[in-house]
């Protein structure tokens, strides 16, 4: 394991920076190779092509795919939703902490009525759109939440942002093909080492009385 000194911290940050720049540099250098056709070692050219292909054909399509809207289940009838809501309400031991965590540690005064409405639409209606036919239900849930926390929410919208897992953007960080090869190779080497050194250790025999 790496130590905790400033020099070691700097070293690992530099390594992370370099690994993150492998893909964009590979794409740039591949473009240079295609346009100027310089003489470069075959191994280097192959590596650049593989990194570029991995970024363009694996990472970018995967990133696009994960940003698509989630497929929500069909809504249950209103009475079932109400039953679920009040059941959830009864299971909350600390209402203030509950709201704080769902609103990513936002201060209480920034969690206002519209913020609560937005959160409840996601949690119980699987939507982020306002539907006038369902607003009475949302208002009912909001009043019940106010009774639970012991205060009324201020009107309007605060700066608080709630977690809405099926609507929130998926933040992805590209890792180069080289990083995966190093990580996978290290894991395989470690597995091989453990197998060679401990694989021959026999497990203790099972006591015969367990089987009568």
Contact 145, 116 (CB under 8 A): yes
The helix or strand, by DSSP H or E, that contains position 197, with its residue range, turns out to be helix 177-198
Count up the domains in the chain and report the number: 2
64 and 127 housed in the same domain: no
Residue 101 has pLDDT above 70, yes or no: yes
Report the candidate in 72, 93, 148 with the shortest Cα–Cα distance to residue 116: 148
pLDDT of residue 84: 95
Examine the domain organization and report whether 100 and 61 are in the same domain: no
Domain boundary among the residues 133, 149, 165 is at: 149
- Residue entry with tokens 């920076």: 17
Model pLDDT for residues 2-21, shown as the tens digit of each residue: 667 888 888 888 888 888 88
pLDDT 10s digits, 173-206: 888 888 788 777 777 777 777 777 765 444 444 4
Print the domain residue range for 98.
Answer: 78-149
For tokens 């942002």, the residue is 161
Does residue 191 fall inside a structural domain? Answer: no
Do 96 and 108 contact (CB within 8 A), yes or no?
yes
Q: Tell me whether residue 15 is in a domain.
A: yes
1 band by pLDDT with thresholds 50, 70 and 90: low
Domain membership of residue 119 (yes or no) is yes
**Residues 125-147, mean pLDDT to the nearest whole number:** 93
Q: Are residues 141 and 82 in the same domain?
A: yes
Identify the residue whose tokens are 């106010």. 146
Q: Does the residue 85 lie in any domain?
A: yes
Mean pLDDT score across all residues of the chain: 85
Query: Is 175 within a domain?
Result: no
For 124-130, the CB contacts below 8 A with 24+ separation are 124/81, 124/84, 124/85, 125/75, 125/81, 126/72, 126/73, 126/75, 126/166, 127/72, 128/164, 128/167
**Considering the entire predicted model, what is its pTM?**
0.66
Predicted local distance difference test score (pLDDT) of residue 3: 66
176 in a structural domain: no
Q: Confirm whether 103 is domain-assigned.
A: yes
- Same domain, yes or no, for 82 and 134? yes
Q: Between these two residues, 113 and 23, which has the higher pLDDT value?
A: 113
- Give the integer Cα–Cα distance in Å for 23 and 40: 18
Tell whether 158 is covered by a domain: no
Are 25 and 55 contained in the same domain?
Answer: yes
Structure confidence by residue, pLDDT tens digits, 57-88? 989 999 888 888 788 889 999 999 999 999 99
């Amino acid at each position: 394991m790496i130590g905790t000194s400033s020099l070691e911290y700097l070293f690992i940050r530099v390594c992370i920076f370099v690994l993150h720049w492998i893909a964009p540099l590979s794409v740039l250098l591949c473009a240079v190779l295609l346009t100027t056709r310089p003489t470069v070692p075959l191994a280097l050219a192959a590596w650049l092509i593989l990194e570029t292909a991995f970024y363009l054909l694996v990472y970018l399509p995967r990133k696009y795919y994960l940003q698509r809207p989630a497929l929500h289940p069909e809504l249950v009838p209103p009475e079932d939703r109400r039953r679920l809501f009040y059941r959830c309400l009864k299971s909350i031991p600390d209402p203030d902490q509950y709201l704080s965590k769902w609103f990513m540690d936002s201060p209480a005064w920034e969690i206002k009525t519209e913020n609560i409405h937005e959160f409840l639409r996601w949690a119980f209606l699987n939507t982020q759109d306002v539907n006038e036919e369902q607003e009475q239900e949302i208002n009912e849930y909001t009043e019940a939440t106010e009774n639970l926390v012991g205060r009324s929410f201020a009107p309007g919208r605060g700066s608080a942002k709630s977690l809405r897992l099926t609507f929130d953007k998926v933040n992805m960080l590209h890792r180069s093909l080289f990083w995966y090869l190093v990580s996978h190779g290290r894991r395989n080497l470690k597995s091989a080492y453990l197998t060679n050194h401990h694989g021959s250790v026999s497990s203790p025999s099972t006591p015969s009385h367990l089987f009568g």
